[in-house]
Amino acid sequence: MPQPGPAHSWGGTLATASGLVIAGEDGGALALVGAAKAEGTAEADNGVVEIPADPGGALAYVFAEAVAPAGQITFRSPNESAVDHNIAIEGTGVDELGPVVKNGGVSEVSVDLKAGEYTFYCSVVGHRAAGMEGPLRVN
């Protein structure tokens, strides 16, 4: 079936946009998951790290990992889909949950981070196990 949609459409054309990148990175089993997969690194910008949920409703974030400087950092996770998601941060003495949102809501949580290794994840039941998590490195 032809796929005339725009490049940013998440309706099934994603594989053509991301497939080649996966082969060169640490794709592992995630490369086989299907319609949506997280890739790339979310970086802090003025104290804010934005990690959107997959807009198509897959149990995935857009980014696979995140990096941030130590200090007060706000994590924002816009969720355009109709599936509940949030953003949560744990590790190095931190355990904070943002509100669960959907339909254009933004889950947000602000955390005082020290240098170390953390994990960002979705705390909705089953989502983390399905792959909604990634490493957060704080320098």
Contact residues toward Cu ion (CB under 5 A) are: 85, 122, 124, 127, 132
DSSP-assigned states of every residue in the chain = ----S-TT--SS-HHHHHHHHHHHTT-GGGGGS-S----SEEE-BTTEEE-PBPTT--S-BS-SEEEE-SEEEEEEEEE-SSS-B--EEEETTEEEEPPPB-TTEEEEEEEEEPSEEEEEE--STTTTTTT-EEEEEE-
Judged by CB, which is closer to Cu ion: 37, or 127? 127
Judged by CB, which is closer to Cu ion: 95, or 112? 95
> Smallest distance, Å, CB 70 to Cu ion?
27
> Smallest distance, Å, CB 126 to Cu ion?
8
Judged by CB, which is closer to Cu ion: 68, or 86? 86
> Smallest distance, Å, CB 56 to Cu ion?
13
